[in-house]
Amino acid sequence: MIKFWYTNARPTSLPQSILPSLVAVCLAISAADFSWGLALFAVVGVALGHLGLNLFDDYFDYKKKKSTYREELVHEGFRARIGKCPYLTSGRATLRELLIACLIFCALAVVCGAMLWWFRGIFVVYIAALAAVLGIFYSGPPLRLSYHGFGELLIGLIFGPLNMIGTYYAACGQVDSRIVLISVPVGLLVMNIVYVHSILDFTSDKKIGKRTLAVLLNNTTAMLVVLFGVIFVPFAIIAWGIFTGGLSAGYGFVFLTFPLAISLFYLMIEFVKHPQKKFLPKFWMGPMANWERMQQAGIDWFMIRWFSARNLLSFFCLIIVILSLCL
């Protein structure tokens, strides 16, 4: 049962939360009051909260649309990625069981948060509570923020600055300008994963009335302009930090990921102009597991771009982790 709900909580999305948390932990190691135990509680709490919110997203989306709309769109001739909530649509689980699983994951995250509150004080509670409220209202009523064009921004804020500042404070009991500066580009690259997703799902989301940022823009040129900023502004922020002395010159190594950023932007331009054009992954794009299965399922057009966005964040974060441990 644990494996069943863990799998359905979409653990493949965990790098979006865990990697920024690990960056924060590594940046905090040199602080005087650093604690490995509290850092571990913070990372585990973030991961559990993320999985719980993923399930809450399924719960609220299923209640709103019964999660059959993508299959219906495919039958109508639209190109849509299918398969959300198969454990519900197949009858393997009920909505009540899903709600219980949501509450269990979130309750475990609260336990971790309580430990951090006990040792670090109320600031951790404020950060966690704000992230939790925004996460619930991402797709939950009455706000359903992801249905009104705010979903991508929320994800970037929750898993970037809120996640990283909260984890950093939990690990060492303070906040400094470096963690704030680095959390913004990381947050943008987390947002990039969701925004790429919304561009790829533009047709299906528009059809059901889900107002993602892409649907809100409703113009392919505008979508790409915003995407350009989301992908490349993180590099500009790091460069500005180095130039002003807020970051050491070593952080320039994050520009090793710049070719992948360019590649992703090119793939998205091609998707907008030639959506049927096929691409094969290259080794420098990073891991893309089960590629043959993706091709057989007919979702390789989606996954090569999603994997690229995820790997861009992963490599960017891993470089900062290495730098923070070496500098």
**CB under 8 Å to 64, separation ≥6 — which residues?**
139, 144
Rounded-to-integer distance, Cα 80 and Cα 210, Å: 14
Q: What is the pLDDT of residue 182?
A: 97
Neighbouring CB atoms inside 10 A of 304's CB total: 24
Residues of the chain scoring pLDDT < 50: 69, 73-79
- DSSP code string of 35-66: -HHHHHHHHHHHHHHHHHHHHHHHHHHHHHHT
Please name which of 146, 160, 217 lies closest in space to residue 188, comparing C-alpha atoms.
Answer: 160
Amino acid at 61: D
Tokens read off for 128: 């966690």
Phi-psi group of 86: left, alpha or beta (phi > 0 → left; psi -120 to 50 → alpha; rest → beta): alpha
With a pLDDT cut of 90, the percent of the chain lying above it is 70
Instruction: Give the integer Cα–Cα distance in Å for 201 and 77.
Output: 14
- 148: DSSP letter: B
Q: In whole angstroms, give the CA distance from residue 291 to residue 300.
A: 7
Quote the CA–CA distance of 212 and 188 in Å, as a whole number.
16
DSSP letters spanning 276-317 = T------GGG---TTHHHHHHHT-HHHHHHHHHHHHHHHHHH
Distance of CA 187 to the CA centre of its chain: 8
Residue with tokens 């850092």: 39
